[in-house]
């Protein structure tokens, strides 16, 4: 009887010790304070830390990941095909205990091509294999075979470093210049050029097309320092001042909408939206109620009509939460539609929508998000390479530059 009692006591003692090992009150799990984990699915990742053998579940974007193995210091999980970036949540028996780690899913369905420029500044993909590029060397190059072979089409030491060129199509290209000659225009893909000197004493900041003949430029007056918008209706022969304001308002305008005779230009610094509905002849101001920050490349605001648009509201300067916002009344008011999960200190630098449902957004750390439900939900992927930079995007493709490589992602 005593022997039976002894074995029974030992049994309960061992059981109690085992319970103590996984008891929520006796574990203090943690993860190593490392950067986000990069993975190209399907593949396994290893989370390192403490008390990870007590983990019961790992979720990525609210979808369970298969736990392959676990020890006290390591947790190996499988990231399947079809997964996209987000925060992995490690759960434990105690519902009040969880750990989080950001997972960067690298897009494996990309193509790369050599693009050996020491300082790439601008690339435009014009369709049909036609590509333009500028690398800060005073030469604008053109490719007609999708960026394999290049030829110089324009050369000048005065090519603007900020906006070297704008193209209406593969034939009609405008190169922006400094000095006495402000622009050079070709109508035959660079075979011949015509230089424009009809805006003396002005620096041209940027150029936007309403149509082939109707063109809008933003300028800074070298004598007064004021900013202005000039328009032409004859392809650059004659210019008319249509708007005047401070240089801060017009120096970094972002194209938000262009259709018919209407164009919206957002001024992040001036917190204004400039609008024309008569082909650029007159412009009106309205408050810009979303904080676009100070984007250097891309435009974090996009309209598909005069009424409907989306924008990324950055943290700071406003009480509103950061995230993707939408307007249905031309920007008079905005409402939040999504708050995408991003990596630490990561923001959205470009937003583009093509319909009520289809859009993309690009992040400051080489990521791109796509939505098919009007921005309510997003799938986020990252480009391979070191600090990939957005070059251009259209409805089917996104183009990035990293490590002297052109990286093409297909939506």
Phi-psi category of residue 355: left, alpha or beta, with phi > 0 → left and psi -120 to 50 → alpha: beta
Strand pairing partners for 167? 173
Q: What share of the chain is helix, strand, coil (3-state, %, to 5)?
A: 10, 45, 45
Residue appearing with tokens 């020890």? 71
In the chain the domains, ranked by start, together with CATH numbers, are 17-105 (2.60.40.10), 289-394 (2.40.10)
Question: Longest Cα pair distance anywhere in the chain, in angstroms?
Answer: 111
Give the predicted TM-score (pTM) of the model: 0.87
DSSP string, 42-73: SEEEEEEEESGGG--EEEETTEEEEEEEE-SS
Pick from 210, 111, 132: nearest CA to 175: 132
Residue appearing with tokens 């005047």? 244
Residue-level pLDDT, tens digit, the chain, 411 residues: 444 444 444 333 343 333 333 445 578 999 998 789 999 999 999 999 999 999 999 999 999 999 999 999 999 999 999 999 999 999 999 999 999 999 999 998 899 988 876 667 889 999 899 999 998 889 999 999 998 999 999 999 999 888 999 999 999 999 999 766 789 999 999 999 998 887 888 888 899 999 999 999 999 998 898 999 999 998 888 999 999 998 888 888 999 999 999 999 999 877 899 999 999 999 999 999 998 887 777 899 999 999 999 999 988 755 568 899 999 999 999 999 999 989 988 999 999 999 999 999 999 999 999 999 999 999 999 999 888 888 888 888 889 888 888 898 987
- Residue 317: the pLDDT is 52
Residue appearing with tokens 């800074």? 220
Cis peptide before 42 (omega within 30 of 0): yes
Pick from 327, 285, 324: nearest CA to 306: 327
- Residue 121: the pLDDT is 80
- Residue 318: the pLDDT is 52
Helix (H) or strand (E) holding 185: strand 183-186
- Residue 54: the pLDDT is 96
Pick from 84, 74, 143: nearest CA to 108: 84
């Amino acid at each position: 009887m005593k022997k039976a009692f002894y074995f029974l006591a030992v049994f309960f003692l061992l059981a109690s010790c085992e319970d103590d090992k996984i008891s929520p009150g006796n574990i203090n799990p943690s993860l190593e304070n490392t950067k986000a984990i990069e993975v190209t699915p399907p593949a396994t990742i290893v989370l390192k830390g403490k008390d990870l053998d007590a983990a019961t579940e790992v979720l990525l974007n609210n979808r369970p990941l298969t736990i392959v193995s676990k020890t006290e210091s390591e947790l190996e999980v499988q990231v399947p095909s079809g997964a996209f970036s987000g925060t992995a949540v490690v759960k434990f028996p105690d519902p009040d205990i969880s750990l989080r780690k950001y997972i960067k899913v690298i897009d494996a369905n990309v193509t790369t091509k050599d693009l050996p420029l020491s300082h790439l500044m601008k690339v435009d993909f014009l369709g049909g294999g036609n590509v333009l590029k500028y690398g800060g060397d005073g030469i604008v190059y053109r490719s007609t075979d999708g960026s394999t072979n290049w030829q110089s089409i324009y050369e000048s030491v005065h090519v603007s470093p900020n906006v070297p060129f704008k193209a209406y199509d593969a034939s009609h290209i405008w190169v922006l210049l400094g000095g006495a000659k402000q622009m050079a225009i070709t109508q035959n893909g660079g075979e011949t050029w015509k230089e424009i000197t009809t805006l003396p004493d002005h620096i041209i900041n940027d150029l936007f097309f309403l149509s082939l003949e109707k063109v809008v430029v933003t300028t800074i007056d070298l004598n007064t320092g004021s900013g202005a918008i000039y328009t032409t209706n004859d392809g650059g022969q004659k210019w008319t001042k249509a708007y005047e304001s401070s240089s801060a308002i017009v120096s970094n305008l972002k194209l938000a909408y262009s259709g018919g005779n209407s164009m919206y230009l957002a001024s992040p610094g001036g917190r204004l939206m400039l609008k024309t509905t008569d082909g650029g002849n007159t412009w009106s101001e309205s408050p810009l109620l979303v904080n676009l920050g100070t984007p250097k490349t891309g435009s974090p605001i996009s309209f598909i009509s005069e009424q409907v648009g989306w924008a990324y509201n950055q943290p700071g300067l406003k009480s509103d939460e950061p995230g993707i916002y939408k307007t249905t009344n031309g920007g008079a008011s905005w409402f939040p539609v999504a708050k995408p999960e991003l990596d630490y200190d990561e923001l959205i630098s470009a937003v583009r929508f093509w319909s009520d449902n289809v859009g993309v957004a690009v992040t400051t750390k080489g990521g791109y998000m796509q939505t098919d439900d009007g921005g309510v939900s997003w799938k986020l992927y990252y480009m391979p390479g070191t600090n990939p930079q957005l070059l251009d995007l259209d409805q089917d493709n996104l183009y990035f530059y990293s490590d002297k490589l052109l990286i093409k992602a297909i939506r």
